[in-house]
Structure 1
């Protein structure tokens, strides 16, 4: 899991550096596929349940699962780059927000809030704790910043499988509260909206957007519950896991 997580982080470093005005998300997808093949890995999303690409590229009001295409990114866009690589049968899953050139302050602030929400959620992971500890940390912070937490998508267990137990909600749900124990692997991946939390899925069956067309952001790490706390597998070797402006 450490090796898979690090390779996924290295792939995201490469994608972040390539995300500049004028580049297409299709080109980023090809870059990710080539990187995976060159490193003995495979993109988990490619053909997963019919998904056609190696990565997800979710721009501005797209919440998640945006499909790469040949439309160039524009100055001021924010884009979530989401990739999961399979290395020797193990999955590393992570996503980050990239700024395309100079972005509006409200967009940058949303990305900063979302990253902080992610890290607060991860900080709540400990053996003997619960999944609601994670959701409580994320929800309390995001809503205090006048943002909303998407309910329709969640984090998930992974390892040999792409999606497994436990489900990681990014808000408090009293009817679902799983105890955390050492050895569990899962993702924490809050999706935070500037507007209301409601989303809809477009006719392609994948692309989820905010119903009110407000901006949305997401960050994701793969983590493990350890005997004493938590370990993050997908930290950037270049320190690029925080909100960063590559395109300026």
Structure 2
């Protein structure tokens, strides 16, 4: 069931989203060669809690971190670790959520560690662009498939592959709600968009093939061919006036 949020609930979601956006802005300042992903996790956790919220990911289905820290070929759900040290030329996706006053915000960015290759830079840029192509489709009476199709078309027309094993999702009182929002699909298909729907739209793209595998920790998902992967996510509210991004500050 897709849950429609009223204006009071949307205001609560805007607060959660703002904290997530501010967290991502803050952690970007600390991303550099030599820092561990566990140190980045601590920075995010401390800021979220100082803001009066709770990290949405901490202990979610047993996940040990406050953020997902996914480096290079890691697609999603990278576990923060003192053993994972960033190096010049790496890319890292930070995915985080905040829970406050009964509602979640969720967003992700892929960041450059120092100077990166042209291909890595293009991967990050095009993945972000694909989010905004999908965002253009977030209009009342459009359908989820319109978002999915727009994302897929932009990624594939730029030579990237679209991850199929993980999707975007509804969000609200629960971190993951209906509907599922694939990053590939057919326009004019799927649930119709209505004002008050809250969506976590999160394109994930690989430089190589789209196939992924989950490692023995049962969380970390990597590209099967070892190619780089990027993600760009925001929490978006459907309104009569158009899309409202809560996590971009």
The TM tier, using the shorter chain, reads over 0.9
Matched, 1:162 2:175: yes
Give the superposition deviation at 1:98: 0.9
| Other-structure match for 2:3 | none
The alignment status of 1:234 with 2:247, answered yes or no, reads yes
Query: 1:33 aligns to what?
Result: 45
After TM superposition, the structure 1 stretch with the greater mean CA deviation from structure 2, 182-191 or 168-177, is 168-177
Answer yes or no: is the 8 Å Cα contact 2:152–2:185 preserved in 1.
Answer: yes
Shift in Å, 1:228: 2.6
Q: Gaps spanning 5+ residues in structure 1: where? A: 237-248
- Please tell me whether residue 207 in structure 1 is matched to residue 220 in structure 2: yes
Distance 1:234 1:197, change over 3 A: same
The corresponding residue for 1:4 is: 16
2:64 aligned with 1:52? yes
Moved over 6 A (4+): none
Q: Which residue of 2 aligns with 1:72?
A: 85
CA distance in structure 2 between the aligned counterparts of 1:92 and 1:12, rounded to whole angstroms? 12
User: What's the secondary structure of 2:173's corresponding residue?
Assistant: coil
- Asked whether the 8 Å contact 2:143–2:188 carries over to 1, the reply is no
- Separation (CA, whole Å) in 2 of partners of 1:5 and 1:174: 28
Is the 2:148–2:187 Cα contact (8 Å) retained in structure 1?
Answer: no
Name the residue aligned to 2:8.
Answer: none
Q: Distance in 2 between matches of 1:22 and 1:166?
A: 39
Q: The residue matched to 2:180 in structure 1 has which SS?
A: strand
The aligned residue for residue 142 of structure 2 is 129
Counterpart secondary structure, 1:29: helix
| Aligned equivalent of 2:151, options 138, 158, 175 | 138
CA RMSD in angstroms, aligned pairs only: 1.2
CA distance in 1, matches of 2:189, 2:151: 16
Q: How far apart are 1:123 and its partner, in Å?
A: 1.3
Change (3 A) 1:173 1:202: farther
User: Retained in 1: the 8 A contact 2:91–2:113?
Assistant: yes
Q: When the two structures are aligned, how many residues end up with a matched partner? A: 236
SS at match of 1:23: coil
Alpha-carbon shift at residue 29 of structure 1 (Å): 0.6
d(CA) in 1 for partners of 2:245, 2:50: 24
Alpha carbons 2:105, 2:235 under 8 Å: kept? yes
Task: Write the distance in 1 (CA, Å) between the matches of 2:147 and 2:188.
Answer: 15
1:89 aligned onto 2:102: yes
**Residue in structure 2 matching 1:107, options 105, 116, 120:** 120
SS in structure 2 at match of 1:45: coil
Partner of residue 6, structure 2: none
Decide which moves more: 90-99 or 171-180: 171-180
